[in-house]
Structure 1
Amino acid sequence: MTAPVLLVIAHGSRDPRHAATVTALTARVRSLRPGLRVETAFLDFNAPSVPQVLSRLAADGVREVVALPLLLTRAFHAKADIPSVLREAALRHPWLSVRRAEVLGPSPLLTAALERRLSEAGLDPSDPSARASTGVVLASAGSTDPEAIAVIAEIAREWRHTGWCAVRPAFASAVSAAGYPRTEDAVRALRADGARRVAVAPYVIAPGRLPDRIAEGARSAGADVLADVLGPGPELARLLLRRYDGAAARPRAALTA
């Protein structure tokens, strides 16, 4: 029996580093599971689009697809944009069955990726004394969706219980109505609260304008450690396959399900 095609749906960006990161991540997924057909599509800015890829798959005789949002939270793109584009495709290709996978976060694999990035930036998360003296800013791109904001805050709370002296959520985009700070504000607050070391961990998959804003905020506020974005690491590749397997195991469903 042929396995469903994995269609990774990324947001897209004018920044070429975004598409390059997505390409590297999907290449790592292919290396972990040889024989699995993995396709990439973008919602905006980059090609190919989701309709273009689904049309090509249908023309190739593919009948089953798992559409996986390359997103860390269930915000607007996961709740509205992706379902909408898949419903439109269903009208053109009614014989094509697409199961939607869950977004990537939250997951222990993402926390592991954050800690690996901190380690690569010079902080040793395996050292209990380093954790106990370090305040971490969990810096997300941001969202106007209350559910997505609440998820980021909960991840910060849970991560705090693994030995860090504090973990604060922060956002690159304006979400002041939710009461959460920008990256630079969170760095300064941790310093004022007595953290001997402050590290910024971007909870973002690929480089771009908002991740650059996170980095600028961290530097302007004098953060001691600035980790890189999550990128095409092994944890994310394994997580993509985990989400794919979960969706593929569900009963066959139509695009509108």
Structure 2
Amino acid sequence: MAAPALVALAHGSRDPRSSATIKALVDEVRAMRPDLRVEAAFLELSKPSFTTVVDKLVKAGFDEIVVVPLLLTDAYHAKVDVPEAVADAQTRHPGLKVRATSILGLEPQFLEILDVRMREALKAARVRELDALVLAAAGSSDPLANQSVARLARVWSARHKLPVTAAFASSSPPATGEAVRAFRAEGRRNIAVASLFLAPGFLPDRAAELAVEAGAIAVSDPLGAHPELARTVLARYAVGAVELVPV
């Protein structure tokens, strides 16, 4: 009996760099578990769509699918879009079992990836010391989602013994530029911004642009296709696969 297929489900973007990064992350997952059928899919804006991928897997004979949402915060896409997509798949394919796992979330080990990306950005900018950091995320109308980013910022602050402020590219203040200017008003000049996004796209670009305009000396790349993210995808899959087993 074949193991359930794994669908890594991202939001999607019109920016081709975004889908390329997600597919590279899925390649990392495949490399770690070559025995599994692993597919990338998108809720909107990018291809292949979730519907297309599910139809392909059903045609290939899979009757169980574990969906791992590639989302960092538990906001609208996680609470509404993903459940609706799963329900639609089950309606279109009677007998198909689809289990959506917890989102990737903001695991403490992701700070290791932030550190790697930040060191790369500081090296490129020839910066050797910092006064403060800004943790830039997408932002949400859901305050709990934004609070999860703020909590990670506090953990990162303690890790480096530097002040860290969470900032958001949409929906909620402060924007990255505002966060940088607030630090500069305190007399801090060496301020860097970390991109807490999975992949490049409009929001990361906008956050970086506002940060540089406000005086940030470096902005890191998004998390990207890192092995730690791939391991987390597989950890979520393992839980989902167990939950598909009849009790």
Please state which band the TM-score falls in when normalised by the shorter chain: over 0.9
Number of equivalent positions: 244
Within-5 A mapping of 1:218-237: 218-237=211-230
Per the alignment, residue 97 of structure 1 pairs with 97
Residue 131 and residue 122 in structure 1: after superposition, are their counterparts in 2 closer, same or farther (change >3 A)? closer
Which residue type is aligned with residue 18 of structure 1? S
Stretches of 4+ aligned residues off by more than 6 angstroms: none
- Give the conservation status (yes or no) of the 8 Å contact 2:18–2:201: yes
Looking at structure 2, the residues matched to 164 and 145 of structure 1 have their Cα atoms a distance apart, in angstroms, of 29
RMSD: 2.0
Alignment equivalent of 1:147, drawn from 144, 149, 152: 144
SS, match of residue 30 in structure 2: helix
Which residue type is aligned with residue 185 of structure 2? A
Alignment equivalent of 1:135, drawn from 132, 136, 139: 132
Q: When the two structures are superposed, what TM-score results if normalisation uses the length of structure 1?
A: 0.89
Aligned-residue offset at 1:104: 0.9
Within-5 A mapping of 1:1-257: 1-122=1-122, 133-175=130-172, 180-252=173-245
Which residue type is aligned with residue 186 of structure 1? A
- Give the conservation status (yes or no) of the 8 Å contact 1:97–1:252: no
Looking at structure 2, the residues matched to 134 and 203 of structure 1 have their Cα atoms a distance apart, in angstroms, of 19
Looking at structure 1, the residues matched to 245 and 47 of structure 2 have their Cα atoms a distance apart, in angstroms, of 28
Which residue type is aligned with residue 17 of structure 1? R
Give unmatched runs, 5+ long, in structure 2.
none
Residue 229 and residue 91 in structure 1: after superposition, are their counterparts in 2 closer, same or farther (change >3 A)? same
Which residue type is aligned with residue 223 of structure 1? A
- Give the conservation status (yes or no) of the 8 Å contact 1:72–1:105: yes
SS, match of residue 81 in structure 1: helix
Looking at structure 2, the residues matched to 60 and 244 of structure 1 have their Cα atoms a distance apart, in angstroms, of 20
Give unmatched runs, 5+ long, in structure 1.
124-129
Looking at structure 1, the residues matched to 171 and 244 of structure 2 have their Cα atoms a distance apart, in angstroms, of 40
Which residue type is aligned with residue 171 of structure 1? F
User: Could you report, residue by residue, the CA deviation over 1:144-171 in whole angstroms, capped at 9, with x for unpaired residues?
Assistant: 1122111111111222121332110001
Which residue type is aligned with residue 14 of structure 2? R
